Amino acid sequence: MDTLQNKTIGTLAIPSGRLVVVDPCYADIAAGSDMAVSTPVKVGDTVDKEYVVIETPNQADVIFTTDTEDGRVAMVTLDFREGLAEPLIREGMEFSHLLPVDVAQLIYADADHLAADWENQDYEDIRIYRNKADGRTLQYTVDFPHYEEPIASEGGATMNALNATGDWERVPYEAPSQRLGYNTVCHGTGDGGRMFGDKAAASRTGWGDGMYPVYVERDKDGAVERISFDFMGLNSEEGEDEDEDDWI
């Protein structure tokens, strides 16, 4: 697809040798468990709990594949091969399993770091818009209850209408805590995703909630070289023809 663009957003450190992948809605469950390497998942299966833990090398480049037409994150690839160029989307990879996502995001982190750094947080729905010309601001739930509500101070215009003019911009929101937590992660993935320090990253998941295929490439000795999380069906077969003895 000509609209796809790869970008390396950082290098993920995994000093424990255990990569945990989890929806932030369930990260408190993962953080409170022993996070042993997950029982292998047969091809075509879904994971049997809220998160998966994979034995990996100690660092990986985190590569976002974005559809430039709509800004959606189409795929996230963790590349454990040192000094190599950004990967082609599917070359040399095998379907592993389906991963459930419930709040349209995934965290990729060192297992020990997630266990130590995770903080239970409530989501704070703070959305502030600033007029580019004079700096006045409007805040969701304070100045307007929803985006189609006429705003008296703006001559009855709605927030949707004001945003459409190009005269307003979203004010970046900084979560009060920078530790890993539901609120921090949710606000940190607003533009697709990013690194959270050097031991964690998080991303949006293309089409939102659902069951997403995971692909793995190993070297001749069986060590993981790449893992890709496909959020927009970049591989149409979704593992239908893979050997059922292939395991993550």
Rounded alpha-carbon distances, angstroms, from residue 198 to 17, 118, 121, 137, 149: 14, 15, 21, 34, 42
**b/e for 163-183, b at 16 or more Cβ within 10 A?**
eeeeebeeeeeebeeeebbbb
Average pLDDT, the chain: 85
pLDDT value of residue 167: 97
pLDDT value of residue 1: 59
Where do we find the tokens 């239908």?
A: 240
DSSP state of 138: E
Q: Per-residue pLDDT tens for 9-39?
A: 999 999 999 999 999 988 998 898 888 887 6
Q: Which residues contact 188 (CB under 8 A, 6 or more apart)?
A: 175, 194, 196, 202
Give the rounded distance of the alpha carbon of 101 from its chain centre: 10
Q: Per-residue pLDDT tens for 122-135?
A: 999 999 999 999 99
Measure the CA–CA gap between 221 and 91, rounded to whole angstroms. Answer: 18
246 — pLDDT class (breaks 50, 70, 90): very low
Mean pLDDT of 160-179: 91
241 — pLDDT class (breaks 50, 70, 90): very low
Q: Is the dihedral of CA 170, 195, 24, 182 positive or negative?
A: negative
Evaluate if residue 188 carries a pLDDT over 50: yes
Measure the CA–CA gap between 163 and 165, rounded to whole angstroms. Answer: 5
Helix (H, G, I), strand (E, B) or coil at 177: coil
Most confident of 63-67, 158-162, 218-222: 158-162
Mean pLDDT of 214-226: 86
212 — pLDDT class (breaks 50, 70, 90): confident
pLDDT value of residue 69: 87
User: pTM for the whole thing?
Assistant: 0.82
pLDDT value of residue 242: 40
Higher pLDDT, 164 or 216: 164
Q: Which residues contact 103 (CB under 8 A, 6 or more apart)?
A: 23, 24, 25, 186, 209
Higher pLDDT, 39 or 179: 179
Pair of tokens at residue 138: 């409007």
Evaluate if residue 111 carries a pLDDT over 70: yes
pLDDT value of residue 39: 64
Pair of tokens at residue 1: 């697809």
